[in-house]
Amino acid sequence: MALLDVKPYDKQYYEEILKPFLPQKFIDCHTHVWLMEHDPNKTLRAGTQNWPGLVAKENSIEDLLETNRLLFPDNTVISTLYGDCAVSINRPAVNAYVAKKAIENDFPALYLCHPDTDPEELERTILENPVFKGIKVYLQFAPGYIPADEIRIYDFLTKEHLAVCDKHGWVVQLHIARPKRLADPVNYIQLLEIEQNYPNLQLIVAHLGRAYANEDVGDALDYLKNTEKTVWDFTANTNDWVMEQVLERFGSDRFIYGSDFPIFRMKSRRTVENGVYINEIPQGQFPYESIKGDAHMREIPYPEAEKITFFIYEEMNACRLACQRLGLGKEDVEKIFYSNSARIFGVK
């Protein structure tokens, strides 16, 4: 059985819309790989979204390579690897798996870092495993006594870890929390603090600060307009207006592509209603009971569902539309999809 159901409509979408836009070779800054044995009883923190976990129980390196082959048959894809971010993941085991598979495939990797990790252990581990280019931190790992809506960046990305990364010029890829997402002043004030206080590390704001709706932006981009180094990845974001705003303020040198595989290999399109994103999926893609009552999920019946393609195609097309409106050319697109990440992750 094929890993993905690539239908004629999907092939046409790739050939006619995406292939002329994409560079032949590109780097994905944001992919999760893990095996079920690393997390046999997957547990999510209360208050966080569970729909991404419906896509795959594991994402082996073989599944990732097959995903890229099926979705981008005429492209070469270099994937940046790290483990799944569930609170229950066996971090030592998944970090070891990631390092091994990154070396075997000549891919860069990030170390999945918990706020309780000893800073000296973190430093020693990455120095001994240079395939790790820095750390991936996640709100799931914030202390359990903090309500999900109140998590701050420093609750899961410690200043001690920032200091280690700053010392070595390592990458910090950051998935922010809080209901207002990027628009929350707590988030954008701390983002600026990190750039100012740790100027040698490379901060990547994942998912454009989770600004999936226009309302998620607020005053953040204006507050951060004088930053000089912070990079934005548009992983799992399909909002071309938000992409346009970020590109307009920070330029194509600080904008990079990521897939969030395996999540964005699902078929879906995204709409926004009253400031809330809704993933519209083909009816029956997931068991109905698993999405019932989820404000972010909506089933679309057939035959309309036939025109819903892969989520990653929707994301890439949103970037294409934003670039088109800003008059960006092939050189800019090459930066966004390849050379910026090549610089950041040391890809030769």
Q: Give pLDDT tens digits for 53-74.
A: 889 999 999 999 999 999 999 9
Tokens representing 91? 């971090």
How large is the average pLDDT for residues 309-314?
98
Q: How do residues 138-183 score in pLDDT, each as one tens digit?
A: 999 999 999 999 999 999 999 999 999 999 999 999 999 999 999 9
Q: Is-contact 122 201, C-beta < 8 A?
A: no
The answer to whether 132 touches 168, Cβ cutoff 8 Å, is: no
Q: Identify whether 262 is preceded by a cis peptide bond (ω within 30 of 0).
A: yes
DSSP label of 212: -
The Cα–Cα gap between 304 and 43 comes to 34
Say whether pLDDT at 77 is over 80.
yes
Instruction: Look at the chain and count its residues.
Output: 348
Q: What whole-number distance in Å separates Cα of residue 247 and Cα of residue 242?
A: 9
- pTM of structure: 0.96
Mean pLDDT computed over 301-316: 97
Q: What is the pLDDT of residue 50?
A: 76
294: Cβ contacts below 8 Å, ≥ 6 apart: 49, 50, 51
Please state, in angstroms and rounded to a whole number, the distance separating the CA atoms of residues 11 and 309.
9
Helix (H, G, I), strand (E, B) or coil at 307: helix
H runs (alpha helix) in 73-149? 91-105, 119-128
Mean pLDDT of 213-236: 97
* Region 307-320 average pLDDT: 98
Residue 311, H or E segment: helix 311-326
The overall average pLDDT reported for the chain is 96
Asked if residue 112 has pLDDT above 90, the reply is yes
The answer, yes or no, to whether residue 291 has pLDDT greater than 80, is yes
SS3 assignment, position 268: coil
Q: Which domains does the chain have, with CATH numbers?
A: 8-267+312-345 (3.20.20.140), 274-308 (no CATH)
Q: What is the pLDDT of residues 17-44, one digit of tens each?
A: 999 999 999 999 999 999 999 999 888 7
Mean pLDDT for the stretch of residues 117-142: 97
| Cross-strand pairs, 134 | 171
Q: Is the pLDDT of residue 88 over 90?
A: yes
**β partners of residue 137:** 174
Look at residues 261, 299, 259 and name the one whose alpha carbon lies nearest to residue 278. 299
**Percentage above 70 pLDDT, the chain:** 100
The pLDDT tens digits for 203-221 are 999 999 999 999 999 999 9
What's the confidence (pLDDT) of residue 44? 77
Please list the residues that pair with 232 across neighbouring strands.
205, 255
Q: Which amino acid is at 36?
A: M
Nearest to 151 by CA among 165, 137, 171: 137
- Residue 307 pLDDT more than 90? yes
Do the beta carbons of residue 4 and residue 265 sit within 8 Å? Answer: yes
* Residue found under tokens 């800073």: 119
